[in-house]
Structure 1
C-alpha cells in the first residue's frame, strides 16, 4: 500500500494532466451538437464540386420557409370567420322603430303615410338581412363568414354582405330613392341613429381554432426522394429543385437525433478527434515549452481558455448562429501571448478554431477568417501594457475580419447587391469585446497566479514599496540593481529575450541584501568592513544567504514566481571565490561546496543574461583606470569563466547570443566610464 502511495505521489503531476486531458475532452464533446452533420458544402447558383450524389436513404423534399410562409398567408386569408348572431335584436329594433316613427313624424298626414312607414321597415330588414357588426373588422370582402346561433350554424355569407354599425345610411338612401321618399332621408337617419343596434359579435376562440387547424394541416414537404435516386451530378449548377432537394437532405442530416445504435459510436469518433487535438497541444508543450508542461497550473490555464472559447461559441450558436462572429476568439492568442509567448498562443488558437469547425456554420469560411485574425493578432500586438498598441491592433484585426468576409461574400454571391452592412457591425462588436482582454488578464493573474507584461510594468516602478525600502536600507545595492537592469534590458533587446521581464528581475535580484546591507561592499560608506571581524566561512555564509533571504522577502511581498526565479538563479552554483581563497590559505583541504551558492543554475535565456550582467557590473567597480582594451578583456574573462563552470548549460542560450551580449556589455561599460579616444599630444 505504501509503495502504491509513493508511486502515486511521484507521478501525481502526470496523473493530474491525464485527468485534465480526459475531463476537457469530455466537456468539449458534451458541448458539441447531438445531431448528424452534412458532409458536403454547396452554394446556390454554384457548381456541385463533389462526386455525383445518390440519395443515401428515403427522405421528403421540404418546402422552403418562404413557401410555407406564403401558404400560411393564403390559408389565413381563406379561413372562415365565425360570428355569434343575436336574432332578438332585429325584432326589438322594429318595435322601437314603430314608437319612434310616431314621435318623429308628428304631422298626421305624414304619420298615416303607410308607404313611408313600410319604407323604414324594409330598410331595417335590409340592414339586418345578414347582420350588423359591433365594431370595424379588418377582413377582406371575400372572407367567408359563418353565422352562429347558440353555437349552431345559422347561415353563411361573405364579409362584404355584413353591415357596419354606421353603414345604415346607404341602405336608407337606397330604400327611400326606390319609393320616391328621398326628402325624408334626414328624419330617417335621425331615427335609425337612435334605434340601430349591432347583433353580430366575433367568436374569437372558434375563429382561431379553425385557423389553427388549417395551419396545422399545411404540409412541410412536397414530394419525396427514394434511396439510390441521383440527386445531382458533379459539375451541375445547384439551383431550382436540385437546391431544394439538397437543402432537404442537409436538414434531414442535421435534424435527425442520434439513435442508440450509432450514438456511442459517433461520441467515440468525436472524442477521438478532440483528444487528438488536445494531445497535439500537450506534445507541443512537452517538446518546445517544457517549463509550461511541468507546471500544472499553466497547463490548466491553457485548457481552461480553450474550453471557455468553445463554450461561448456554443452558447451564441444555440441562441442565433448569425452572431457567431461576435465571439472575441482573438482574446485567446492575446492572453496566451501575454502570459507565455506568441508561438504557443498561435498554436493553441489554431487548434481551438479546428475544434470549433465541428459546430459552426460555413466552417471553412469561419476557420479561414479566425486563423487569419489570429495570425494578425500575434503579428500586431506587442507591448500589451501600452493601451494605444491594443487599440491599434484591435482596429487592424477588425479590418482584416471585414476584408476577408467581404472577399468570401463576393466569391459566394458573385456581386455585392445583397451584402448586409449590419454584418460588418458584428465584427466591430467583436473588436470592442476583444478590448476586454485587459481586465481579463488582471483576473487571470489573481486566479492562476500568473504574471503578464502589465504586472511587470507595475513592478518596474522604482516607487514600489519594496524598491523604496531597498533604496533606503541598501542604497548602493539599489544603484547596482538599476545599472544591472539597464545592462540586462539592452542585452535582452539584442538577442530577442523578454526585456521587460529581465528588467524587473534585475531590479529585485538583490533584495536579500537588505537583511545585512553593510556586509556588501557597495553599501560600505564608512570604509569599515565588518567581514574583518568574521572568519571566511562566516563571511561566505552571509554572502550566500542573501539569495535565500531575497527569496523569503520576495515571497512575503507577493512577487511573482517568474521574478523570484531571477533571485534564485542570479549566482547559479558559482563559487564565492574571495572567501574560499582566504579559507584555503588557512585550511588546505577546504571543500569548495561549502563556498558555493545553492543554485539552481539559470534555466532560461533571461536568467542567464542577468547572471552575466550582474557579475560584470559588480566586478566593473574594481577596474582602475579603465580603457576599452581593459573592459573588453574584463568582460570576456568573467563570462568565459561562467561558461567554463557550466552555469549556462540549462539555459536556452546560444554561443552566438552570448557573443552579442558581450558586445553590448562592452559598449555599455565604455559609456558608463565615459571613455574617450586618446588623441596624440
Structure 2
C-alpha cells in the first residue's frame, strides 16, 4: 500500500514538474515574441492641425474602408438605376387575337357570300353592298373590335382582295408582336405606333392595305408594360451591393511631405487612427492574443512530445533557444529589408526546422515551422500595423517544409549539406513563383539577385545547422542522428570491450543491428537508432561472457556445472548489467532503454524446463526477465531480431522454408506471450517486419556451391 502511494506521489510530482517546465518556457517565449514584434503593430501618431503643411510623408497604418466615400459612391450608383417594368403577356396575346379575329372574320364573310351566290337560284338578286357587308361583319366580331374600329375602316378592309389581306395580316402581326413583346408604356405608346407604321410604309404591299394597317395600328397597340416596384427595388439593391467599398490600404500614402492638410486629408488621417494615441492599445491586445495562441500550440506540442517521446529539460531548452535564435535572425534581417530589396529571401529560416527534426521530432518541426512562418509574416510587414507579409510567410513555411522532407535517413553530416542543396532549389522555385504571380515586370538582374538570396538562405541554413548541432548535443545531452553515428564507431570503448571480451556476442550484435535497421526502415521507424541500440544491447554479457553460448569456443559449457536456477540468474542479469555499464559511460537514455527492454518479460524456457524436470513445483516467475517490455518500435524490433538471429544461427542447414517458419514462430510466440503489448507496432507493421527479416536472412544464408576438396597424395 505504501509503495502504491509512493508511485502515485512520484507520478504527480513528475507530471507537475513537466508542466512547470512547459509553462515557464512558454511564458519566456511569449515575452520574447512580444518584444520582437510589438513595433511591427504599434501605430505612430501625429499632432496635426487642419490647413497646415505636413512635416513628413504619412502612410496609412491599417487597411480600412472609407465609409463616407463608399456611401456617396453607392448613392450615385443607385440613382443611375432605371425603373423596372413588367410586360403583361396577356394583353399582348389579347391584341394579337383581336387582329386575327378581324382578318379571319372578313375572310369568312367573303367565303359565305361566295357560297350563297353559287347556291342561290335567283341570279337576278343584286350583290351585297359594302355597308351590308360591314353590318354582317359587326354581328360576328367581338364588341371590343367593333367599338375600337370605325365602319369606314371595316369597309376599306372588305374591299381589299383576300391575298392582299393575308399578306398584310402576316406583316402586321409580326410587327405588332415584336413591338408588344418589347413593352409599350404610356409614355411611349405613340412611338410604338409610329414604329409599326414605319415598317408598314416601306413594305411592298398594296397601298389600300397599307392604309388599312396604318389605321388599325391605333386600335392594336395599347399599353402592356407597367412599373414594377419590387423589380426596381431589387435592381437598386443589386446595384448597391455591387459597389466596391472605397478602401484605404495599409501603406497607402495619405499625405506627402509639405502637402497642405485639407479637410478631406484630415478626415482620412483621423479615420486611420494616426491622430488618436489611444488606438495603439488595440494592436497590442491583438498581438498578445496571437502570441498566446502560438505559445499555447507550442505548449501542446511539448506535451505531445512528453506523451510519445521523452521530454527532458534539454529538449525544452532546445525549443526555447531555437525559437529565440530564429526570431532574432528574423528581426535583424527585417531591419535591412524594404519593399524594394526583398532581403527576407536570405533569411536562413530552415535552420530551425533542421535542428528541431534532428533534436526533437519531425512532427514538432512541422508545427513550429508553421508558427515561425506566422511570426515572420508579422516581423517582415515593413512595420505597417494591421498587415501581414503573406509572401514572406509562405516562403518561410515552404522552405522549412522542404527542409523537413529532404532531411531523411541521416548517415553523416553530408546529409545536411544534401538537404541544403534541395532547400536551395526549392527556395529558388518559390521566388520564381512569386515573380510570375506578381504581374510586375522584372529585369533579369533582379531575378538573379532574388534567386541568389534564396540560394544563400539554404547555404546559411545548412552551415548554421551543422555548427549549432554539436552544441545542443553536447551541452543539453540530446540524441541526434549525428550523435548516433558517433556512437556506432567501432572505436567506442564499450564496443571495443565487447569485441575483445565477447567476440561471439559482438558478431551477434552486428547481425542483429543489420536485421533491425532494415526492419525499422521498412516501417518508417528510426533505423539508425535501432542499429546503434543493437550494437550495445548485449554489452552486459561482457560481465560473464563465457556463460553465453556464442562465446563458448572450444571450452566446456559452464552451465553444466551449476543449477538451472543459477544459470537463469546469470542470463537474466545481462540486460541490467549492460544498462548499468551504459549509464556509467553516459550513453543516451534511448540506448539504455533498448538494453533493458530487449528481452522484456520473456521466459527462459530451456532452464525452466530443465528445472521443472527436477522440481515440478517451480514457477515461471523465477525464470522470467523482470522487464520492462519493449516500449518503442525500435526496442521491439531489436527484441524480435535478437531472438530470430540466435535461432536461425543454430540451424544446421538453414533453408528458406525453415527461416520463414522460425521467424513466424518467434513473432507469434512474442505476441502470444504479450511481449509486444506495450510497443506502438501495429499488426500491419509486424507483417512487414516479418517479411523484411525473412528476406534479409535469406540473403545472408543463401545456398553456396560446395567446392570439391583435393585428395591427399
User: Shorter-chain TM-score: which interval?
Assistant: 0.5 to 0.7
For the residue of structure 1 that corresponds to 2:653, the secondary structure is coil
Is 1:611 aligned to 2:634, yes or no?
A: no
Name 1:669's counterpart in structure 2.
697
Superimposed CA distance per residue, residues 290-328 of structure 1 (whole angstroms, 9 cap, x where no aligned partner): 233643432332233223211221233245555433321
Shift of 1:342: 3.0
Query: Is the Cα contact below 8 Å between 1:35 and 1:258 reproduced in 2?
Result: no
Name 1:111's counterpart in structure 2.
none
Superimposed CA distance per residue, residues 355-383 of structure 1 (whole angstroms, 9 cap, x where no aligned partner): 33222226100011111212222222223
Is 1:545 aligned to 2:550, yes or no?
A: no
Pairing partner for 1:350 from 353, 370, 379: 370
Pairing partner for 1:495 from 523, 541, 550: 523
| CA separation of 1:61 and 1:515: change in aligned 2, threshold 3 A | farther
Is 1:466 aligned to 2:471, yes or no?
A: no
Superimposed CA distance per residue, residues 546-593 of structure 1 (whole angstroms, 9 cap, x where no aligned partner): 111111221222322222221121111112222222333333333423
Query: Is the Cα contact below 8 Å between 1:292 and 1:298 reproduced in 2?
Result: no
RMSD after superposition = 4.1
Superimposed CA distance per residue, residues 93-142 of structure 1 (whole angstroms, 9 cap, x where no aligned partner): xxxxxxxxxxxxxxxxxxxxxxxxxxxxxxxxxxxxxxxxxxxxxxxxxx
Shift of 1:37: 5.7
Unaligned runs of 5+ in 1: 39-55, 64-216
Query: Is the Cα contact below 8 Å between 1:60 and 1:222 reproduced in 2?
Result: no
Name 2:38's counterpart in structure 1.
33
Shift of 1:615: 0.6
Q: Which one is further off, 609-618 or 546-555?
A: 546-555
Q: How does 1:593-608 map to 2 (within 5 A)?
A: 593-608=621-636
Give the whole-Å Cα distance in 2 for the aligned partners of 1:246 and 1:547. Answer: 78
Q: How does 1:80-479 map to 2 (within 5 A)?
A: 219-220=55-56, 230=69, 243-245=252-254, 263=281, 266-284=283-301, 286-287=303-304, 290-292=307-309, 294-318=311-335, 320=337, 323-361=343-381, 363-412=389-438, 414-417=440-443, 420=446, 421-435=448-462, 436-479=464-507
Superimposed CA distance per residue, residues 65-118 of structure 1 (whole angstroms, 9 cap, x where no aligned partner): xxxxxxxxxxxxxxxxxxxxxxxxxxxxxxxxxxxxxxxxxxxxxxxxxxxxxx
For the residue of structure 2 that corresponds to 1:555, the secondary structure is helix
Give the whole-Å Cα distance in 2 for the aligned partners of 1:394 and 1:256. Answer: 48
Q: Which one is further off, 283-292 or 646-655?
A: 283-292
| CA separation of 1:292 and 1:666: change in aligned 2, threshold 3 A | closer
Query: Is the Cα contact below 8 Å between 2:481 and 2:528 reproduced in 1?
Result: yes
Give the whole-Å Cα distance in 1 for the aligned partners of 2:16 and 2:362. Answer: 30
Superimposed CA distance per residue, residues 236-257 of structure 1 (whole angstroms, 9 cap, x where no aligned partner): 99999x9422899799979889
| CA separation of 1:581 and 1:12: change in aligned 2, threshold 3 A | same
Query: Is the Cα contact below 8 Å between 1:445 and 1:451 reproduced in 2?
Result: yes
Normalising by structure 1, report the TM-score.
0.65
Name 1:181's counterpart in structure 2.
none
| CA separation of 1:287 and 1:390: change in aligned 2, threshold 3 A | closer
| CA separation of 1:246 and 1:495: change in aligned 2, threshold 3 A | farther
Give the whole-Å Cα distance in 2 for the aligned partners of 1:237 and 1:268. Answer: 27
Q: Which one is further off, 268-277 or 636-645?
A: 268-277
Query: Is the Cα contact below 8 Å between 2:40 and 2:378 reproduced in 1?
Result: no
Unaligned runs of 5+ in 2: 74-242, 257-264, 382-387, 707-713
Q: Which one is further off, 471-480 or 314-323?
A: 314-323
Shift of 1:34: 3.7
Number of residues paired by the alignment?
Answer: 505
Greater helix fraction, Structure 1 or Structure 2? 2
| CA separation of 1:440 and 1:254: change in aligned 2, threshold 3 A | farther
Shift of 1:508: 1.1
Give the whole-Å Cα distance in 2 for the aligned partners of 1:267 and 1:243. Answer: 22
Normalising by structure 2, report the TM-score.
0.63
Superimposed CA distance per residue, residues 517-541 of structure 1 (whole angstroms, 9 cap, x where no aligned partner): 0111110113312222322222222
| CA separation of 1:419 and 1:672: change in aligned 2, threshold 3 A | closer
Bigger Rg, which one: 2
Pairing partner for 1:15 from 13, 17, 20: 20
Query: Is the Cα contact below 8 Å between 1:628 and 1:675 reproduced in 2?
Result: no
| CA separation of 1:446 and 1:250: change in aligned 2, threshold 3 A | farther
| CA separation of 1:226 and 1:575: change in aligned 2, threshold 3 A | closer
Query: Is the Cα contact below 8 Å between 2:355 and 2:465 reproduced in 1?
Result: yes
Shift of 1:654: 1.3
Give the whole-Å Cα distance in 2 for the aligned partners of 1:285 and 1:618. Answer: 40
Shift of 1:399: 3.1
Give the whole-Å Cα distance in 2 for the aligned partners of 1:62 and 1:595. Answer: 97
Shift of 1:344: 2.7
| CA separation of 1:513 and 1:333: change in aligned 2, threshold 3 A | same
Shift of 1:620: 2.1
